C-alpha cells in the first residue's frame, strides 16, 4: 500500500552545505524521493526568486514555502481541488500569510532606534554587498534582495541579552516576530514555517483524500515551527558539528541526523523512508 509521504526541508545548512551551497551529498536520497514520487517541499527564509533557482537545479515541480512561511506558492494546475483565498502570481496560485515587506522595514528601523541599536538589513544593502557578504553569485544576490515578507538583518552594534529581549518584546507587541536564523536575524509578521506547513498538509489531504505522513528537516531555531508541525522532525547537525541546543530543548522526540548538512539530510531521509515504508 502506497504511503502518502510529504517531505518539508530547509535549504541553507540543511539540504545545502553551509559553505558551498551544494546538495551533492544528498543526491542518492533525492533520487529515491523522485522514484517514489514523494513531494519535496522547500520551506526556507529564501525569496521566491531564490527558491526557483533550486527548484530548477533539483528538477522539483512541487509547491514551496518562501520567506519563513510568508507565502505558499502552488504551481498552476498542481491541485485539482483548489482552496479559496489564493492569488494568481506568475505561474502560481499563492497563499499569502506574511506582513508586507515595506511595513517590516519601517518598524525594524523605528523600534531598533528606540533601543539605540543600529541595524543593517537587506533593504540597506546593495546587490554587490549581499554577494560579497553571503557567498552568493551576482544573480543569486539579485534574487535575495527581492523580499516580500521577511527582512534579514544584523546588529551593527552588538546588543546584550537584555536589550535583545527588549527589542524582541517590542516587535511582539505590534504583531511582528524577530528570531535568529542560520546567519542573520529575521523580522517577519506572525507567519512562520509551521503555519505554512500545516496549511499545505491540509491541501494535500484534501487532494489525496487521505492523511499524510510528514517529514521535516532543519538545522536552526527558525526551523522549529516546521519541525513541530510534522510527524517526523529531523534535526541536522550545524556546520560546527553540533545540534542547535534551543531546538533540542523544544522537540520531544527528534530524529537526529548523524551528519552535517546534506550528508546528514541524505542519511536521515533514507533511514526514515525505510522505517515508514516498513510499517504496516
When pLDDT is averaged across residues 125-150 and rounded to a whole number, the result is 93
In the chain, what are the domains? 5-97+192-278 (3.40.50.1000), 101-188 (3.30.980.20)
pLDDT band at 186 (very low <50, low <70, confident <90, very high): very high
Model pLDDT for residues 146-181, shown as the tens digit of each residue: 999 999 999 998 899 999 999 999 999 999 999 887
* Of 179, 203, 200, the residue nearest 190 (C-alpha): 179
Model pLDDT for residues 220-276, shown as the tens digit of each residue: 988 999 999 999 999 999 999 999 999 999 998 899 999 999 999 999 999 999 999
**Distant-in-sequence, close-in-space partners of 173: CB < 8 Å, separation ≥ 6:** none
Q: What is the pTM of this model?
A: 0.90
When pLDDT is averaged across residues 34-42 and rounded to a whole number, the result is 96
Task: Quote the CA–CA distance of 265 and 236 in Å, as a whole number.
Answer: 7
Q: Which residue has the higher pLDDT, 136 or 205?
A: 205
The pLDDT value recorded for residue 134 is 87
Say which of 10, 12, 192, 223 is annotated catalytic.
Answer: 10
The pLDDT value recorded for residue 280 is 55
Share of the chain above pLDDT 70, in %: 98
Is residue 138 scored above 90 in pLDDT?
yes
When pLDDT is averaged across residues 65-88 and rounded to a whole number, the result is 90
54: left (phi over 0), alpha (psi -120 to 50) or beta: alpha
DSSP classification of residue 80: S
Is residue 201 scored above 90 in pLDDT?
yes
Our answer to whether residue 192 is catalytic in this structure is no
The pLDDT value recorded for residue 108 is 97
DSSP classification of residue 8: E
Is residue 1 scored above 50 in pLDDT?
no
Model pLDDT for residues 78-126, shown as the tens digit of each residue: 999 877 779 998 889 999 999 999 999 999 999 999 999 999 999 999 9
> Following DSSP, what letter does each residue of 27-44 receive, concatenated?
HHHHHHHHHTT--EEEE-
Task: Quote the CA–CA distance of 260 and 236 in Å, as a whole number.
Answer: 6
**Distant-in-sequence, close-in-space partners of 112: CB < 8 Å, separation ≥ 6:** 118, 119, 155, 167
Amino acid at each position: 500500500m502506497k504511503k502518502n509521504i510529504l517531505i518539508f526541508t530547509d535549504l541553507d545548512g540543511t539540504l545545502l552545505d553551509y559553505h558551498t551551497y551544494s546538495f551533492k551529498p544528498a543526491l542518492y536520497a533525492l533520487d529515491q524521493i523522485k522514484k517514489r514520487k514523494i513531494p519535496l517541499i522547500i520551506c526556507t527564509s529564501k525569496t521566491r526568486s531564490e527558491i526557483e533557482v533550486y527548484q530548477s537545479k533539483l528538477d522539483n515541480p512541487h509547491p514551496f514555502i518562501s520567506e519563513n512561511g510568508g507565502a505558499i506558492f502552488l504551481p498552476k494546475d498542481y491541485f485539482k481541488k483548489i482552496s479559496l483565498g489564493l492569488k494568481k502570481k506568475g505561474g502560481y496560485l499563492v497563499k499569502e500569510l506574511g506582513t508586507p515587506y515595506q511595513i517590516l522595514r519601517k518598524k525594524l528601523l523605528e523600534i531598533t532606534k528606540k533601543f539605540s541599536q543600529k541595524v543593517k538589513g537587506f533593504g540597506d544593502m546593495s546587490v554587490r554587498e549581499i554577494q560579497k557578504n553571503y557567498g552568493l553569485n551576482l544573480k543569486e544576490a539579485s534574487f535575495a534582495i527581492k523580499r516580500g515578507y521577511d527582512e534579514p538583518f544584523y546588529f551593527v552594534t552588538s546588543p546584550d541579552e537584555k536589550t535583545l529581549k527588549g527589542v524582541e518584546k517590542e516587535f511582539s507587541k505590534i504583531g511582528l516576530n524577530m528570531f535568529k536564523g542560520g546567519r542573520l536575524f529575521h523580522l517577519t509578521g506572525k507567519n512562520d514555517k509551521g503555519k505554512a506547513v500545516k496549511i499545505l498538509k491540509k491541501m494535500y489531504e484534501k487532494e489525496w483524500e487521505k492523511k499524510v505522513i510528514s517529514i521535516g528537516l532543519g538545522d536552526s531555531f527558525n526551523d522549529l515551527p516546521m519541525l513541530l508541525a510534522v510527524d517526523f522532525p529531523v534535526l541536522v547537525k550545524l556546520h560546527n558539528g553540533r545540534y542547535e541546543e534551543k531546538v533540542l530543548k523544544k522537540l520531544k522526540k527528534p530524529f537526529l541526523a548523524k551528519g552535517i548538512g546534506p550528508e546528514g539530510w541524505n542519511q536521515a531521509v533514507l533511514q526514515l523512508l525505510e522505517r515508514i515504508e516498513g510499517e504496516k
